[in-house]
Chains A and B, each alone.
Chain A
Amino acid sequence: MELTRRQLLALLGAGGATAALGGCATPTTAVDVGAPGFGEGARGTVEMWCRSDTVNGVQTVVDAFHAAQDRVRVRLTPIQNGQYVTKVATAIRGGRVPDVIDIDDIYSTMFAFRDVFTDLTPLVEDLALGDALSPGHLALATKDGRHYGVPFLGDFSVLFCNTELFDRAGLDVDEHTASFDGILEAARAISALDGDTYGWSYPGNSSGALGFTVQPHVWATGTDLIAGDVGDQRGNVAGNDALRRTLDLERTLWQEQLVPPGCFADDASRWSADYVAGRLGMFPAGYGIVAPNASPELLERSRVVLLPGPDGGRAFFDGGDNLCMPQGGKNPEAAAELIRFAVALEQQTRMPDGFYSPVRSDVVTPEFEAEHPLVVPTLRSLDAGYAPTTLAYNLIYNQQDGPWLRMFRRAVFDGEVDTAMDEAQTTYDRILRQAQA
């Protein structure tokens, strides 16, 4: 019997579509991490993926894990940052997932939201740390009250202050970093000290770095640039007063030449160069940006405070990594054991050795503070840490052609603050709408 060509095509098309669409609902039996006896006798190999940016921190933990026991071995694969989301997503769709992934906490939202990670709430509850475990990290992997990731490694944005320059200008760090007025005053004073000292700095051409260090000024007032719950979000840009005042501050700093002229084209490839050379009074950045490059003397002379809002309040970007278990991994028991190990006090205490921050505040003891003073301020105020929970963070804040960078540059360097904000509002809305479709 010969089918007509049309019939044949229709049949095959239907078959193909069904197969293709059907292939997306890969039913995997959910693992219950909290089940009694779960994880006992865990052994074998754990497949772990990590960000290539943080591979050192992860490797340290893995090495310690291997030294502490010999039942479980970890096979670590670093994955380049730019490909991370793609690789994880295609692995999940292809049904060949690693057991554990160390994932940028900002990205854990989009996966948690799509129900492809194992529920790790029992692990978190076992730690019984409450707010001592970075709430910002956790929020990014929480859906409907359940946690789909465990905080692991911290990369917080803070304000570095060169106390020597502050002293020379006769300023007080806490007082003059508590509000925008204070910052402006301090910046003026410090810039006036020398020909090549400046009060402040920002990488004006790096979207991600700006998102890391500028947004906390807005968050300190309790608002964000994105409003609404995941899945139903829109931009909160136009009319956002805290944002307007933040952009005004940055603009003023630029106009009065209180920031190095290189800020215009700075893409954060050598971000800490000015501060490390001792030329900056205040430097919004992260511990991992400054500490590896700065001399011990400079670090001694530095203090770290949180980023202020216009009239007070403090906030910081709660960046870093979460550990998550994709559903369908082959060795969930050993994976859970590794996660427990990684977030335990001992490992977290050693985080600053790799220039990362711990994610639990109970590591702070007098000894710890004496050894890593610059890491402590954020740990003391973990609840001031925040990162936007959204599916579109990457598209809005980490793209060189994204609306965030465009708005910043237009407002700060071109001086058109209102237009910039209105334009950004439209783009934010469009991107969020697309991402939530």
Chain B
Amino acid sequence: MAVTTSLPGTAEQGAPAGGTRGASPGSGSSPGVTRPSGPERDTRVRRTLYAVGGVLAALVFVVPLLLALVRAGQPGDVVVAAPDGRFLDLSWVNFRLILDQPEIWRGIVNSVVVSVSTAVLTAVLATLAGYGFAKFGFRGRGVLFGLVLVTLMVPFQAILTPLYLQMNAMRLTDSLLGLVLFYTTVNLPFCVFVMRNAFESVPGEIEDSAHVDGAGTLRMIVSVLRPLVLPGAATAALYAFLASWTEFLGALTFLTDSSLYTLPVSLVNLQQGAYGQVDFGLLAAGSVVAMIPCVVLYVALQRYYVAGLASGAVKG
């Protein structure tokens, strides 16, 4: 199912995705806010268990990431040496190297350009389509919506080769534009789904009264409905950004000019010694740079992210 491709970085993972069809019983559209009190009663034993278990688990999850930060501050030769006194002598040397080493820096820029463009394009197209599917009746609506959803079932890995040929024929390989179009397509089904749900929950009266005021379609979306659908659009944009930021196979296949490489591909080239002797400190720093936007965006926009998942899980 291509839903696996539309969620952040799930394109090649063993990852379940948000577009699940199983309806979980009755769970409403609560955007990830924890409900008051789960099934357990709050006894002291349970509380201690929770505290201990929670802390241990948290450590397991947090420590590797902290380690990554430490590695990014270690010069390359310290990273590859058995830990000694220099382990915690952190510095900015790797990050300075990033600025000096054009390949990684360019990779970052390309990734930013591609991911932001994908996020914007996906959000726009998904909003339009979501509105159309939700509020408009036209012949073939069911068929077209089904078409968009069926795409969720097609993993792009299965069409990698013919897609490569086709993009080549369309002159879209070796171009960031081509990559953006590809990423947008991969994210559209899920985001259209989310946006349609968002629009469907908008009461018809709002539109009717706006029509009375003479609002055209565009103004309807942008001004009238905006506050109601902005969360959905934000979700769509966030998903699309995260999915594109770490996507690998597509970037590897469709880009051959090294000046166009996105960050993951630049890092792989670095690691395989294409830029000379492998500097693992630089690799660590590059990875941390790849890490930070994901974490920041997720933490800041958690609400939208989990809402998207819930929307997909529930309304499916």
Chain A–chain B contact at Cβ < 8 A? yes
- Is A20 part of the contact surface with B, judged by Cβ < 8 Å? yes
Q: Which of B147, B170, B256 has the most CB of A within 10 A?
A: B256
Q: CB within 8 Å of A: which of B4-23?
A: none
A20 to B173 Cα, complex, angstroms: 13
Q: Which of B110-118, B208-216, B269-277 contacts the other chain?
A: B269-277
A63 to B62 Cα, complex, angstroms: 51
Q: CB within 8 Å of A: which of B249-272?
A: 256-258, 269, 272
A93 and chain B: residue at smallest CB distance: B168
Whether A87 contacts B165 in the complex (CB less than 8 A), given A5-B143, A80-B272, comes out as no
Residues of chain B within 8 A (CB-CB) of A90 are: 173, 256
The total number of A-B Cβ pairs within 8 Å is 45
- Is B139 part of the contact surface with A, judged by Cβ < 8 Å? yes
- Is A366 part of the contact surface with B, judged by Cβ < 8 Å? no
B163 and chain A: residue at smallest CB distance: A20
A86 and chain B: residue at smallest CB distance: B256
B272 and chain A: residue at smallest CB distance: A80
- Is B169 part of the contact surface with A, judged by Cβ < 8 Å? yes
- Is A82 part of the contact surface with B, judged by Cβ < 8 Å? yes
B162 and chain A: residue at smallest CB distance: A20
Q: Which of A21-29, A183-191, A270-278 contacts the other chain?
A: A21-29
Interface size on B, residues (CB 8 A): 19
Whether A20 contacts B256 in the complex (CB less than 8 A), given A5-B143, A80-B272, A80-B273, comes out as no
Interface size range on A against B = 20 to 34
Q: Is the CB of A19 within 8 A of B139?
A: no
Residues of chain B within 8 A (CB-CB) of A20 are: 162, 165-166, 168-169
A93 to B256 Cα, complex, angstroms: 11
Q: Is the CB of B256 within 8 A of A19?
A: no
A94 to B165 Cα, complex, angstroms: 9
A5 to chain B minimum Cβ distance, whole angstroms, is 6
A78 and chain B: residue at smallest CB distance: B274
Q: CB within 8 Å of A: which of B127-154?
A: 139-140, 143, 147
A59 to B274 Cα, complex, angstroms: 16
Name the one of B139, B169, B174, B272 contacting A82, with C-beta atoms under 8 angstroms. B272
Residues of chain A within 8 A (CB-CB) of B166 are: 16, 19-20, 23
A159 to B314 Cα, complex, angstroms: 72
- By secondary structure, the A interface counts as helix
- Is A96 part of the contact surface with B, judged by Cβ < 8 Å? yes
Residues of chain A within 8 A (CB-CB) of B258 are: 77
Residues of chain B within 8 A (CB-CB) of A82 are: 272
Q: Is the CB of A83 within 8 A of B169?
A: no
Name the one of B140, B257, B272 contacting A96, with C-beta atoms under 8 angstroms. B257
Residues of chain A within 8 A (CB-CB) of B165 are: 20-21, 23-24
Q: Is the CB of A94 within 8 A of B169?
A: no
Q: CB within 8 Å of B: which of A1-25?
A: 2, 5, 16, 19-24
Residues of chain B within 8 A (CB-CB) of A93 are: 168
Residues of chain B within 8 A (CB-CB) of A339 are: none
Q: Is the CB of B174 within 8 A of A96?
A: yes
- Is A79 part of the contact surface with B, judged by Cβ < 8 Å? yes
A94 to B169 Cα, complex, angstroms: 8
Q: Which of B147, B257, B258, B269 has the most CB of A within 10 A?
A: B257
- Is A91 part of the contact surface with B, judged by Cβ < 8 Å? yes
A77 to B102 Cα, complex, angstroms: 14
Name the one of A23, A77, A78, A87 contacting B168, with C-beta atoms under 8 angstroms. A23
Q: Is the CB of A19 within 8 A of B169?
A: yes
Name the one of A2, A78, A94 contacting B256, with C-beta atoms under 8 angstroms. A94
B168 to chain A minimum Cβ distance, whole angstroms, is 5
Q: CB within 8 Å of A: which of B264-303?
A: 269, 272-274
- Is A52 part of the contact surface with B, judged by Cβ < 8 Å? yes
A332 to B24 Cα, complex, angstroms: 65
A91 to B256 Cα, complex, angstroms: 7
Q: Is the CB of A80 within 8 A of B169?
A: no
Q: Is the CB of A94 within 8 A of B273?
A: no
Sampled A-B contacts (10; CB under 8 Å): A16-B162, A19-B166, A20-B165, A20-B166, A20-B168, A22-B169, A23-B168, A91-B256, A94-B174, A94-B256
Give chain A's interface residues, CB within 8 Å of chain B.
2, 5, 16, 19-24, 52, 77-80, 82-83, 86-87, 90-91, 93-94, 96
Closest 4 CB pairs of A and B: A23-B169, A20-B165, A80-B274, A19-B169
Given A22-B169, A24-B165: 17 more A-B contacts, CB < 8 Å = A2-B139, A2-B140, A5-B143, A5-B147, A19-B166, A19-B170, A20-B162, A20-B168, A21-B165, A23-B168, A23-B169, A80-B273, A80-B274, A83-B274, A90-B256, A94-B256, A96-B174
